[in-house]
Structure 1
Amino acid sequence: MTESVLKTAMLADAALAKGPQLLTPSALAKSAAAAPNSGTPTLTIVHPKAGTSFSIDPTPAMPVIKCQAQIVGIAPDPTPTTAFNWLIEIIEPQKRGSCASAGVFCGYQEPGHGLLGGTWTPSLVAFRGGEARIRVTTTVGGVRLEAETRVMITGTNPPHADIVKMCGGNATDIARIACHESGMQQFAGGFPLLGGGGDTGIMQLCNPAATCDERWNWRANVERGVSVFNQKKAAARQYLDTHKIDGKWPNDMGLSNDQVLQREAITQYNGGSFWKWDEGKAKWIANPPPQEYFKKVMAASCP
């Protein structure tokens, strides 16, 4: 056996000892001079880097997360002609509490199947935040490769002026409630602002539970708060109408109908009732504890 033939045989034995390490047919076709790979192929996620933080902007709009994977360890690089399967999963940390909102689990999954070239930008069609786990898999020469990275998606508070506009103006009852409940903040540290019971966001939605969009989309949160307040106002009117004399709601504070309704509607938003009927006096009497919530709402100031 000649020296060159002997060397070739020894190299072949060494390659077999490592197991089959084959290039994809497409990669082989790309270069007639392609040499057998020199090592075990691995897959890595080049972008985004682990620990990167992305933000839902104040518009609000979900961030654009451009993902890029790379096959390393073999030549020529088969990445451009290889198909990849992607998956992004977003999971929000949970916090227990007495509100129905505390029982809401917000997750999101989006796959990207059979995508050539190692790049992918998920559409992120729903408002979600928390830890985002990005996984990618592919097969090279019969070997399954996979990689994973974890990043964060957090929320950004909007300007107060945008919230006030959705509430109909600074002087509206719903704007005052938003100010008192949260200081007009949807997020704290990038995550939905939660009250002690799990009340959520700008309007501190509790019962019924805040949806996932209402946790991560501040506009949805305010819109729901306005709707809840309007429902409470209608319920307050119905409640007060149970004792109405000559078109008025008689009360121990000498207030007009509008003032009586305002106090009841705001207090009902918090789950209480400002007024209780006194049969002996034939008047609506102010409830001492619920009065405090109304006073705090009216005193709230958000520049």
Structure 2
Amino acid sequence: MTEPALGTAMLTGGALANGPRLLAPGALANSGVAAPNSGPPVLVIEQPGAGAPPFVIDATPRMPSVVCRARVTGIVPDPTPTTAFDWLIEIIEPQRRGTCASAGVLCGYQEYGRAVVGGSWQPGLAEIRGGEARIRASATVGGTRVEAETRVTIIGTNPSRAAVRALCGGAATDIARIACHESGMEQFGGNGFPKLGPGGDTGIMQLCNPAASCDERWNWKANVDRGIALFNQHKGAARQHLNAHTIDGKWPNDKGMTKEQMLQREAIKRFNGGQYWTWDATNSMWLAQPPGDYTDKVLAASCP
């Protein structure tokens, strides 16, 4: 078969973003030669077989062990032990439509094993990726090129809420409350694919704009880390917003809230979009005028 460019990459708009990378876990060996009176060679992928249950990314997160095994049939004696096989695993996450930037990200992974002798191969799976996986093997046997292909699914496992709370810095933190409200602290839906909101918001933190990367779609820790970073950015912007109008070093407001309470509400609202406080120049005070009740829902969220 003719091989495409080799590599591991995030695909955006269907194009490989990174340069090629070749993995060669095996050594070259002579291909099998048909014995007299043998029939035409046929290549069969015995493992994973058709209809195999999904492979599962665990809650660590860590990629599953995918052991591949092929065999040449129709030849006597069996040439499989001395045949050099070329392998490919290609993982693609089906794309979903939505209004979020995250919905426009197409994630994939490719890994090749070249001239792997003996019919067995285990890809390294160096990146946390899931989706529909195509596994292909090919070899030249007695001058005949033979190929076989099988398809499996790789899905994700949700971490425990305790693990999510710990990464957020504790249950009482604003980021933990956001994670609770946004997704129930779940990275994956019932089908084991990234949990998506109506617009394509992704994972525990329901990342929307900027787009969730492929790591942030399949690695729950990366998703939470990005959420924390975004919240801290919004908190800095919230402080700058409120510092635009101070009186005696304070932020006068119509709710009698402390500066800490005001900053908390402004930062939470900005995580979702918009602002919580509006300056009233006539009365020289900040007015609580958030569009919607997102902030209240976050502050009331509880995921024991």
The TM-score normalised by the length of structure 2 is 0.88
- The 1-side partners of 2:247 and 2:31 are apart by 87
> Which residue in the other structure is 1:133 paired with?
134
> Which residue in the other structure is 2:87 paired with?
86
List per-residue Cα deviations over 1:181-230 (Å, max 9, x = no partner). Answer: 00000000200000011110000001110000000000000000000000
List per-residue Cα deviations over 1:30-80 (Å, max 9, x = no partner). Answer: xxxx95143211000010012321000000000110000000011110000
Pair 1:249–1:120, CA change in 2 (3 A): same
> Which residue in the other structure is 2:160 paired with?
159
- The 2-side partners of 1:58 and 1:75 are apart by 46
Matched, 1:184 2:185: yes
- The 1-side partners of 2:195 and 2:147 are apart by 36
**Which letter maps to 2:56?**
S
**Which letter maps to 1:174?**
I
> Which residue in the other structure is 1:234 paired with?
236
Q: Secondary structure of 2:227's partner?
A: helix
Q: Secondary structure of 2:44's partner?
A: strand
- The 2-side partners of 1:163 and 1:35 are apart by 60
Q: Secondary structure of 1:213's partner?
A: helix
Matched, 1:215 2:232: no
> Which residue in the other structure is 1:74 paired with?
75
Q: Secondary structure of 1:226's partner?
A: helix
**Which letter maps to 1:47?**
Q
Determine if contact 1:27/1:76 at 8 Å carries over to the other structure: no
- The 2-side partners of 1:181 and 1:60 are apart by 21
Pair 1:118–1:278, CA change in 2 (3 A): same
Determine if contact 1:37/1:73 at 8 Å carries over to the other structure: no
Determine if contact 2:277/2:290 at 8 Å carries over to the other structure: no
List per-residue Cα deviations over 1:85-109 (Å, max 9, x = no partner). Answer: 0000001011111111010010111
Unaligned runs of 5+ in 1: 1-23, 29-33
Matched, 1:260 2:292: no
How far the C-alpha of 1:26 sits from its partner, in A, is: 6.7
> Which residue in the other structure is 1:145 paired with?
146
**1:1-303 superposed matches below 5 A:** 35-52=35-52, 53-188=54-189, 189-290=191-292, 292-303=293-304
**Which letter maps to 2:176?**
A
Unaligned runs of 5+ in 2: 1-28
Pair 1:102–1:76, CA change in 2 (3 A): same
- The 2-side partners of 1:95 and 1:25 are apart by 45
Q: Secondary structure of 1:196's partner?
A: coil
- The 1-side partners of 2:237 and 2:30 are apart by 71
List per-residue Cα deviations over 1:149-175 (Å, max 9, x = no partner). Answer: 000000000000000000000000000
- The 2-side partners of 1:285 and 1:25 are apart by 79
- The 1-side partners of 2:111 and 2:30 are apart by 29
Worse-superposed segment, 240-249 or 34-43: 34-43
Determine if contact 2:32/2:140 at 8 Å carries over to the other structure: no
Q: Secondary structure of 2:158's partner?
A: coil
Determine if contact 2:187/2:204 at 8 Å carries over to the other structure: yes
- The 2-side partners of 1:251 and 1:156 are apart by 45
- The 1-side partners of 2:303 and 2:30 are apart by 65
RMSD across aligned positions (CA):
1.4
Determine if contact 2:164/2:185 at 8 Å carries over to the other structure: yes
Determine if contact 1:66/1:119 at 8 Å carries over to the other structure: yes
Q: Secondary structure of 1:202's partner?
A: coil
Q: Secondary structure of 1:205's partner?
A: coil
- The 1-side partners of 2:208 and 2:201 are apart by 5
Pair 1:261–1:37, CA change in 2 (3 A): farther
Pair 1:204–1:131, CA change in 2 (3 A): same
Pair 1:196–1:88, CA change in 2 (3 A): same
How far the C-alpha of 1:25 sits from its partner, in A, is: 7.0
Q: Secondary structure of 1:87's partner?
A: strand
- The 2-side partners of 1:118 and 1:269 are apart by 51
Q: Secondary structure of 1:297's partner?
A: helix
Determine if contact 2:32/2:142 at 8 Å carries over to the other structure: no
- The 2-side partners of 1:191 and 1:27 are apart by 41
**Which letter maps to 2:149?**
E
How far the C-alpha of 1:127 sits from its partner, in A, is: 1.0
